Structure formats: C-alpha cells, structure tokens
Amino acid sequence: MSHMQSRGTRRRAGFTLIELLVVIAIIAILASILFPVFAKAREKANQNSCLNNQRQIAIAVSMYVQDHDEKFFPNPGRNSWAGVLKAYNEPSIYDCPSVRNKGTNDHPEYGVNRWLCNLALGEITSPETTLLTADLDPVSDSYTKGNGMLNDFNADIATRHSNGTILSCVDGHVKYENITEAPGDALGKIGYQMMIISDTYLYKTYDTELASATPAGQMKVNGNGDNKWRCSATVLTLPEGCYRVNASDPIPDMMIEYEVTFNTLSGGGAEYSKSALGLFMDDAETVAGTDFTDVFSGLISGVWRYGAIPGDGWSNLGNATSNRFITVATTLNTFNHNDPAMYAGKAPMYGNQWYRARLLFKPETVTVVTLAYSGDTFLGQYEAPFNPAGDMAPGLKKMAAYCCTRNVNGFTAIRNIKIYKF
C-alpha cells in the first residue's frame, strides 16, 4: 500500500516541450517590447553625451577666442582643427558614443564650421544662429575628412542621432535638430547661418554693375523670333592666383560671389534665356554673337528660364517651374534642364529681383549656394561636377557676364562680383 502511494505521489521533473515553447515565446514578446525602449534610452543617453561634449567644445572655442584678440583660429590645413584646443579641454569630449571609433583632439568626431577661420568675433552679426560645430560625417579609421572641418554642409554633417544632428552655435548654445533632407539644405531653411565670409578674405571686388547696353547697368539682347540665340557679354579678367597657369596647379582655394537679376522685354511667344556668369573662358567664348550655343570651356552659373510671356512690357515670369538657378561645368557641353540635381535654387527665380550666388571651388566639385538678396534668405545648395583639366584648363582666365535670349528681347545685370581667396 505504501508502495502504491509513493508511486501515486511521485513529482515529475522538468518542463514539457509545450511549456518550454510558451516560456520562450513570452520572453521573445517581452524582448520585442523592451529592446526598442532600451535602444531609445541608449540613444537618448548618447544624445545627452553629445550635447554635453559640444557644449564643452563651444566653451573651449570661446576661451581660445578670448585669448587670441577676439579671433577664431586659422585654417589648420591638413591638421586637425581640434588640435589648437588641446590646452583648453580633455580629448574625451571629441568622442561621440554613437561612433565606434575613439574621438580625440587629433581625430575629432565633431566638425567645426570652416568659414569661421580667421574671423573676428565682432564680424559674427548673429552668433545665436551661426553654426559653430556639428556631428561630423563620415568618421572612419582612415579619418577621411582630413582636418575634420565642415566644408560641404550637406556631405560633412552627420545625422546619426535618430535621423538628426547635434550642433552648437557661436553664442555657445547647443541643440538637437531633426533632419529630413540634406543637412545643409535643412539647416539653412531653419535659419542657421553657415557660409560666413569676411572682407579680410577679399581678394578682388568689382563693385559696379556690368553693363554693355542701355538702360544703365543692364545687358540687353533683342531676339529676332528665328530660334537663334543672341548674346551680350561684358568681359573681365580674373586676378592672378584665381586660375591655373600650369597643368600641375591645384584648384585655387577660393569662392566667388555675385548678384544677378533678369527680366524679359517685349517679344512674346515661348522663349529660352540665360542670365549667367561665365568663368575660366577663352577669348573666343567672350565675344557676343548670334546663333549662340551652350559650348564653353570652364563653368557657367546663373538663371536658366523658359516660359511663355505677354507680348509687351516688362514681364515677371512668375513661378514657372523652369525658372531656376543652375551651375554647369560645361565640358559636359549640355544643360540637362530636367535634372533636379542641377538646380541650386529650389524655389523659383522671379524676374526683376536680385539674387546672390556663392560658388565654392573644391578639387572635383563646385558647391553652389543661392540666396535671396534681401536678408541672405537661403534658397538652395547643391554640388556640380568640376574637372580641373577641362573646366579650369591652364591659362583660361577670362570671366564674362552673359545675357542670352532666343526669340524675345531680354536683359540681365550682374553686380558686386567678389572673389575670396583663403
């Protein structure tokens, strides 16, 4: 009897397979719920760390400026920008926890705005919106960004923090900004100022409007309605140091800024027109002529437009989607008007208004920023390919302002050409 009771009360050991699967399923469900929470918490902690790091960097920069006659540090060339701050901080503040590598003064994982170099603090009119530092991209074992400075804001600013970037401004405040498009474009639209320039960099300026016809300050072209291009040009010579003399010469470290306006006179009908500045032209390409084509050496930038207009009077071409600011490295020998990547002005260009263009030259590209004349309102930025062997061939030193139309009468004016050497 006792033997039977012991058999009847024996406890089984272990779990059945079904019980084990149920437990595993519960753990998997809990993990799927909790892991994203843990990931968000970890990313939030990383963001807080980066906010603190860039706040400390901004303080270090401020201390450097105070110790150096209220001036920002010079361009470090191929050396790390953060190397000049070694006396002011610990190297650990250049390490972003969201990046696998270890950031230091010699290899910072944050970039500084290149356009602040050599500027006096008093030249920064809006320190609360002037970009100082931001997350640097890319960061790799080979330190692909060289000196770690922010040169091309679309390419150099990282969005590694939940599709956003952490940045600081010259006044010392830091902030997280969510980014839904190219970083430079997005920050410019929000109101950050990035490409800051100073007259201390100024190499050459042409202060007057370039004119070859009346009314004063305008280049005027009459179209004959025969589908042939007509062109008017005002020609200048680039200063020495702003063009290549020998094939072995690098692209000059320079930026060109100018202002352009355009409109269409009487003529009626569909029309094409260009109001542009040509750079690195040869003598033959600066001569006004008929049946004008797109064939250039060098580079042409400005407003391209197409559209039907009223038959008389000064016509505002309105918001036709084809009216855009473009820059073309013209060894390509074509304008691909349907390629959105070619438009530096994302917003339409309007007739009889002034626009400002900035062209920053780099080894194989030119970065183009388009601004409204009033208040430097950011309108767009993009990069165009640039081939030094052809687009800036040795000896090509002519610069020409063009007004080109087909079928209708038009005008353009270009003024305040400024050339900056760094």
What's the pLDDT at 40?
64
pLDDT in tens, 290-311: 444 444 567 888 887 765 443 3
Res. 273: pLDDT tops 80:
no
Task: Examine the domain organization and report whether 165 and 306 are in the same domain.
Answer: no
Query: Could you tell me if 64 and 205 lie in one domain?
Result: no
Q: Determine, yes or no, domain membership for 12.
A: no
Q: How confident is the model at residue 38 (pLDDT cuts 50, 70, 90)?
A: low
Q: Is the pLDDT of residue 2 over 50?
A: no
Does residue 403 form part of some domain? yes
Q: Greater confidence, 380 or 212?
A: 380
Q: In the chain, how many domains are there? A: 2
Give the Cα-Cα-Cα angle 335, 221, 355 (nearest 5 degrees). Answer: 60
40 and 111 fall within a common domain: yes
Q: Which CATH number is 342's domain given?
A: 2.60.120
Across residues 20-31, what is the average pLDDT? 81
Residue 316 has pLDDT above 70, yes or no: no
Tell whether 44 is covered by a domain.
yes
Condensed to tens digits (0 to 9), the pLDDT of residues 322-361 reads 567 777 765 543 445 555 666 676 666 777 778 888 898 8
- Mean pLDDT over 146-165 rounds to 88
What's residue 130's pLDDT? Answer: 94
Q: Please tell me the predicted confidence (pLDDT) of residue 292.
A: 44
Whether residue 151 lies inside any domain: the answer is yes
Residue 268 has pLDDT above 50, yes or no: no
Question: Is there a domain that residue 14 lies in?
Answer: no
Tell me the mean pLDDT in the region 145-151.
82
pTM of the predicted model as reported, rounded to 2 decimal places? 0.74
Mean pLDDT of 157-185: 92
Same domain, 178 and 219: no
Residue 164, pLDDT above cutoff 80: yes
Asked if residue 143 has pLDDT above 60, the reply is no
Distance CA 204, CA 299 (A): 19
Same domain, 136 and 246: no
Q: Are 303 and 354 in contact (CB under 8 A)?
A: no
Q: Which residue has the tokens 């959105």?
A: 340
Tokens found for residue 78: 């191929």
Q: Which of 236, 363, 387, 368 is nearest to 298 (CA)?
A: 387
Residue 365, domain extent = 200-421
Q: Quick one: 239 and 177 in the same domain? A: no
53 DSSP 8-state letter: H
Q: What's the pLDDT score for residue 319? A: 38
Indicate the pLDDT class of residue 110, thresholds 50, 70 and 90: very high
Q: Please report the pLDDT score of residue 1 as a whole number.
A: 47
Domain identity same for 216 and 348: yes
| Cβ neighbours, 10 Å, residue 12 | 6
Asked whether 348 and 320 are in contact (CB, 8 A), the reply is yes
Higher pLDDT, 102 or 67: 67
Choose one of 137, 170, 196: the last residue of a domain: 196
Residue 281 reports pLDDT greater than 70: yes
Does residue 244 sit in the same domain as residue 109? no
pLDDT per position as a tens digit, 385-416? 777 888 888 988 888 888 877 777 777 888 88
Which domain-ending residue is among 142, 162, 196?
196
103 φ, ψ (degrees, to nearest 5): -80, 140
Same domain, 119 and 231: no
230 vs 417 pLDDT, higher one: 417
| Residue 21 counted as domain residue | no
> What percentage of the chain carries pLDDT values higher than 70?
74
**352/329 same-domain check:** yes
Q: Is residue 216 part of a domain?
A: yes
Bigger pLDDT: 7 vs 82: 82
Q: What is the structure's pLDDT at 335? A: 46
Mapped onto helix, strand or coil, the DSSP state of residue 381 is: strand
In this structure, the answer to whether residues 238 and 192 fall within a common structural domain is no
For residue 301, the cross-strand partners are 277, 327
How confident is the model at residue 290, as a pLDDT?
47
Residue 284 in any domain: the answer is yes
Q: Domain boundary residue among 150, 167, 196?
A: 196
Distance CA 269, CA 250 (A): 46
Torsion angle, CA of 148/101/185/80, rounded to 10 degrees? Answer: -10
Structure tokens given for 90: 């610990």
pLDDT score for 365: 78
Question: Are 241 and 357 found together in one domain?
Answer: yes
- For the stretch 46-92, pLDDT in tens is 788 999 999 999 999 999 999 999 999 998 888 999 999 999 998 99
Residue 210 pLDDT level (bands cut at 50, 70, 90): low
